[in-house]
Amino acid sequence: MENRSLGRGPVSVPVVGLGTWRRLEAAAAAGRHRELIDAAISVGIRLVDTSPMYGAAERLLADALDGKRDQVVIADKVWTPSLEEGVAQVARAADWYGGRVDLMQIHNLVAWREHLPMLEAARARGLVGLIGATHYSAAAFPELAELMATGRIDTVQVPYNPMQREVERTILPLADELGLGVLLMRPLGEGGLVRRQPSPEDLAPLRPFGVTTWVQALIKWGLSDPRVHVSLAATARPERLPENAAAGSPPWFGREERALVLDLAGAR
């Protein structure tokens, strides 16, 4: 799988990561959360995204990483309007992940003016590596751009898939200009884009790009924009990870193949 640098910093990761929203708890409910993380590591996935918003996901991830913490880059979040609780979330996360969170993101920009200096102080103490911010809604992108322009964050996490392309207008160009790392949420549209599958004949032009399934076409579509660094496809099923990870190797789509994926998704 190809590696890309997360922004200007020294952290370089394989381009397919793993999201945990709802899916890590689902894996745990099936008794498979350790198997899921083991499978991710074995197919070369090295970045796992989580949040205090995701129920027991942070704790389950820590449990699944017992003895393997050093093999993954943890992207966690602070998600609270309270500065005091934010400090506690950072401390808890550092505890769970061997004393340090590699990337700490401000989830949905909640109280970012308060949390940003707190995260900078946590970074100075070695509890946090990179600092980032996330938002799922285009309505919040002007505020996200304002935070990006402060020059005080290293990464952004935003939705990007054939049906959600608002980041093309300001966020991706600005991230590129500032040298920020870009993590993609919802590469499969929360699963909605996978429900209707194009035929193998429709996908045939993508085969020279190593793509044999629609899921791979969607993941590769996002990663073929060079301003993007990591795609956070989420699954509860370990057996799906080889398929997802295989979309993280070149050759990347050109303009024609990206346009074909938009057509097949019904986005044009």
Which residues are near ligand NAP by CB under 6 A? 19-21, 23, 49, 107-108, 134, 136, 157, 185-191, 194, 215, 232-237, 240, 243-244
DSSP 179-244: T-EEEEE-TTGGGGGGSS---HHHHGGGGGGT--SHHHHHHHHHHTSTT--EE--B-S-GGGHHHH
Length of the chain: 268
> Coil, strand or helix: which one is 167?
helix
CB of 6 to ligand NAP, least distance (A): 15
Q: How far is Cα 161 from Cα 219, in angstroms, rounded to an integer?
A: 8
Question: Exposed, middle or buried by CB within 10 Å (0-12, 13-18, 19+), for 23?
Answer: buried
Q: Which is nearer to ligand NAP, 228 or 254 (CB)?
A: 228
Q: How far is Cα 257 from Cα 98, in angstroms, rounded to an integer?
A: 42
Q: Which is nearer to ligand NAP, 129 or 238 (CB)?
A: 238
Measuring CA to CA, which residue among 178, 174, 172, 166 is closest to residue 267? 166
CB of 233 to ligand NAP, least distance (A): 4
Give residue for tokens 């370089």.
12
Peptide bond into 251 cis (omega under 30): yes
CB of 143 to ligand NAP, least distance (A): 13
Residue nearest to ligand NAP (CB): 19
Q: How far is Cα 37 from Cα 186, in angstroms, rounded to an integer?
A: 19
Cβ–Cβ under 8 Å, residues 218 and 194: yes
Q: Which is nearer to ligand NAP, 115 or 186 (CB)?
A: 186
CB of 187 to ligand NAP, least distance (A): 5
Q: Which is nearer to ligand NAP, 16 or 122 (CB)?
A: 16
The first and second tokens of residue 17, run together, are 């990561």
Q: Which is nearer to ligand NAP, 56 or 125 (CB)?
A: 56
CB of 234 to ligand NAP, least distance (A): 3
Q: Which is nearer to ligand NAP, 172 or 232 (CB)?
A: 232
Close Cβ partners of 65 (under 8 Å, ≥ 6 residues apart): 37, 71, 72, 97
Q: Which is nearer to ligand NAP, 92 or 237 (CB)?
A: 237
CB of 95 to ligand NAP, least distance (A): 21
CB of 108 to ligand NAP, least distance (A): 5
